[in-house]
Chain A
Amino acid sequence: MSFFLNQLIIGIQLGSQYVMVALGLTLIFGILDISHFAHGHLYMVGAYLLYILMVLVKVNYWLALPLCMIALALGGIIVERLVYRPLREQPHINTFIAAIGLILFLETMVRAIQPKSLSVPKPIDRVFSVGGVSMEAQRLIVIVGAALLVVLLHLFIKRTRLGTAIEAVAQDREGAALVGINVNRISLLTFAIATALAAAAAVLMAPLAFIAPEMGSVLILKAFVIVVLGGLGSMQGAIVGGYLLGVLEAMAIAYVSSAYKDVFAFAVLIIILAVRPTGLFRGRE
């Protein structure tokens, strides 16, 4: 039983990471209709930035967290402005090509500068143990941190004027422009928020894993699976899908095989889409 609970906690922690990345992807897809394939690579850049701040500049972890989020938010703004905005009127597949270009650029640059895997120290290096279930403090930090951010994002979108504007653009771009919403500014804001979320995910996860140039690749694929399963553009779908996938994966690793841990998600996606070609939740076509 305690083994099962342990796996469940690992699953929720994995899921927390997926939810943060998938939510950003969903925001960008829902509002800008862009398959932002380079999102995982911005996550990777976030992890490297944490390494620079913590290990090279010796900044405290809790200060590095917001710093990374702010820096990456700026990065997201630059990407939107320079890469995606000029492509707004072009077919979907062309933005996809641009994203591949961005992936190649980021991954190659990082690899050329620092080819080795890196690691950062844990801010709280302790293991809690409750009734046979032991848990690293960092796992708890990931789970609680992600939950907090998700709630904050929800409140921001539902309760603030800017958030409402974001929702309006997501529902009807032209209509929003007609009532005086600056669509360009909303696009930038969306990218900033989504990328900051990815940076937060990277900072929270980094103490648990190695930092490597290819760390964004598989993650972005899984985030895409979650977004598709959740129905493209549905935020609830991304949250439910993210946690589900995390738990499913942790269980599969424990009870089936770890060699194939990265393929379960994709197999499940193919099976589900074969039955429901538009995803589990009601999204857009």
Chain B
Amino acid sequence: MPEKWKKATKPALLLAVLGLAVLLPWVGLEKYQLRVLTLALAWAIAAVSLNLILGYTGQASLAHGAFLGIGAYAFGIFAERLGWNFWPALLVAGLIPAALGFLVGLPSLRTKGPYFAIVTLCFNVIIFKVFENWTWLSGGYQGQRVPKPAFLEQRWARYYFILAALVVVLVVVRMIVKSLLGVTFMSIRSNENLAEAVGIDTFRYKLLSFTVSCFIVGLAGALLALENGHLDYTITSYTYSFNLLVYVLIGGAATLSGPVVGAVGLYYLLEYIEKVVGEYRYAIFGLLLIVVIIYFPRGVAGGVQQLWDRLKRWWAGRGAGEVVEG
């Protein structure tokens, strides 16, 4: 394969996927299908945000369900009850989870490994209980309406808006990952003690990564609420933290495409198998999770990447000394 082609494969593939995504609403998707696709994209944004802290910085946050819900509520409350405009309300939906994430990160990021996962999970349960009981805030079971601005009245407009948001978030995350900041994050993931030994204030960088991640997941929550047009306290549930974790790890942590593939793929899978197996869908989903994690420990994207690297080496004929990025 000529050098020029090889360099062009990745961008070409990306353009093809993006083109397909842009064309999709015009290939005769039913209303319902477009809605599922839109929701899947919003979940993908949330998964990408979790990947920043889980995949790149190596801290398994189990509070992202709470931050997602808080973002959704922030948007709903400011836009509906306080009558704010769309854009400032959306900004607040990112800022409040970010501020809270910063505060939660202060004590919890001092803990390591499984401790951090459990502390954040506990935080998620507390937030869930608070939203369940403070009905003046959450509206309880009935929840509350979420308004749509005029330019997002149309189904396809919301689809494009959320698709664009996903692209923007991916570009931002890519910029972070490719910068010195991203390298610092990854050094914390691969060996926190070593990073500290060479003079990196790991706590500060973990806090930064967590805060940015919470900002993005808050936005994702707002977009979900926007597409649904409605929200109730169950959106803060820790089951969403589990779902996001699963999306990222099955899709492939620490890759750009992994969380997107995981979120969209698994969201669709769940929608699809529901039609076939009904209430047993989560049982089958659970079994699939176990099988995938056993046979593809680096997720689907990780597995494909491995295969791709092997193919490239095979093609090059002499790639024995090549370093494969892990």
Q: Is the CB of B245 within 8 A of A100?
A: yes
Q: Is the CB of A112 within 8 A of B279?
A: yes
Complex contacts, B133 vs chain A, CB 8 Å: 259-260
Cβ-defined partner of B249 (8 Å) among A94, A218, A274, A279: A94
Instruction: Tell me the A1-39 residues at the B interface (CB within 8 Å).
Output: 35
Whole-angstrom CA separation of A218 from B121 in the bound complex: 11
Whole-angstrom CA separation of A253 from B245 in the bound complex: 33
Q: Report A105-128 CB contacts with B as 1/0, cut-off 8 Å.
A: 111110110000000000000000
Cβ-defined partner of A270 (8 Å) among B114, B122, B242: B122
Q: How many residues of A contact B (CB 8 A)?
A: 45
B108 is an interface residue with CB less than 8 A from chain A = yes
Q: Is the CB of B288 within 8 A of A101?
A: yes
Given contacts A225-B118, A259-B133, A277-B111, contact A100 B280 (CB under 8 A): no
Cβ-defined partner of B122 (8 Å) among A94, A97, A109, A221: A221
Least CB distance, B268 to chain A, in whole angstroms = 17
Q: Report A210-226 CB contacts with B as 1/0, cut-off 8 Å.
A: 00000000100100110
B264 is an interface residue with CB less than 8 A from chain A = no
Given contacts A98-B294, A274-B110, contact A262 B129 (CB under 8 A): yes
Q: Which of A43-51, A63-71, A83-91 contacts B (4 or more CB under 8 A)?
A: A83-91
A102 is an interface residue with CB less than 8 A from chain B = yes
Instruction: Tell me the A262-280 residues at the B interface (CB within 8 Å).
Output: 262-263, 265-267, 269-270, 273-274, 277-279
A228 is an interface residue with CB less than 8 A from chain B = yes
B283 is an interface residue with CB less than 8 A from chain A = yes
Complex contacts, A91 vs chain B, CB 8 Å: 297
Given contacts A86-B294, A109-B280, A260-B129, contact A97 B289 (CB under 8 A): yes
A232 is an interface residue with CB less than 8 A from chain B = yes
Instruction: Tell me the B3-17 residues at the A interface (CB within 8 Å).
Output: none
A282 is an interface residue with CB less than 8 A from chain B = no
Complex contacts, B250 vs chain A, CB 8 Å: 97
Whole-angstrom CA separation of A103 from B123 in the bound complex: 21
Least CB distance, A141 to chain B, in whole angstroms = 30
Q: Is the CB of A83 within 8 A of B290?
A: yes
Least CB distance, B266 to chain A, in whole angstroms = 12
Q: Is the CB of A278 within 8 A of B117?
A: no
| Number of inter-chain CB pairs below 8 Å | 129
Q: Is the CB of B108 within 8 A of A262?
A: no
A104 is an interface residue with CB less than 8 A from chain B = yes
Q: Report B258-299 CB contacts with A as 1/0, cut-off 8 Å.
A: 000000000000000000000111110111111001100100
Q: Is the CB of A97 within 8 A of B283?
A: no
- Main secondary structure on chain A at its contact with chain B? helix
Given contacts A92-B114, A224-B118, A278-B115, contact A98 B290 (CB under 8 A): yes
Q: Is the CB of A93 within 8 A of B60?
A: yes
B112 is an interface residue with CB less than 8 A from chain A = yes
Q: How many residues of B contact A (CB 8 A)?
A: 39
Whole-angstrom CA separation of A100 from B245 in the bound complex: 10
Cβ-defined partner of B110 (8 Å) among A90, A218, A277: A277
B125 is an interface residue with CB less than 8 A from chain A = yes
Instruction: Tell me the B109-145 residues at the A interface (CB within 8 Å).
Output: 110-115, 117-119, 121-123, 125-126, 129, 133
Q: Is the CB of B286 within 8 A of A101?
A: yes
Least CB distance, B98 to chain A, in whole angstroms = 19
A96 is an interface residue with CB less than 8 A from chain B = yes
B317 is an interface residue with CB less than 8 A from chain A = no
Least CB distance, B129 to chain A, in whole angstroms = 5
Least CB distance, B249 to chain A, in whole angstroms = 5
Given contacts A94-B249, A221-B125, contact A270 B290 (CB under 8 A): no
Q: Is the CB of B112 within 8 A of A285?
A: yes
Q: Is the CB of A97 within 8 A of B125?
A: no
Given contacts A103-B286, A104-B285, contact A221 B121 (CB under 8 A): yes
Complex contacts, A109 vs chain B, CB 8 Å: 280, 283
Least CB distance, B273 to chain A, in whole angstroms = 12
Complex contacts, B287 vs chain A, CB 8 Å: 101, 105
- State the A residues within 8 Å of B (CB): 35, 83, 86-87, 90-94, 96-98, 100-109, 111-112, 218, 221, 224-225, 228, 232, 259-260, 262-263, 265-267, 269-270, 273-274, 277-279, 285
7 additional A-B pairs beyond A90-B293, A263-B126, A274-B108, beta carbons within 8 Å, are A96-B245, A100-B242, A108-B282, A228-B114, A260-B129, A273-B115, A277-B115
Chain A to chain B contacts (Cβ below 8 Å), 25 pairs: A83-B290, A91-B297, A93-B117, A94-B297, A97-B249, A97-B289, A101-B286, A101-B287, A101-B293, A108-B280, A109-B283, A221-B125, A225-B118, A262-B125, A262-B129, A263-B125, A266-B123, A269-B119, A270-B107, A273-B107, A273-B111, A274-B108, A277-B110, A278-B111, A285-B112
- State the B residues within 8 Å of A (CB): 54, 60, 107-108, 110-115, 117-119, 121-123, 125-126, 129, 133, 242, 245-246, 249-250, 279-283, 285-290, 293-294, 297
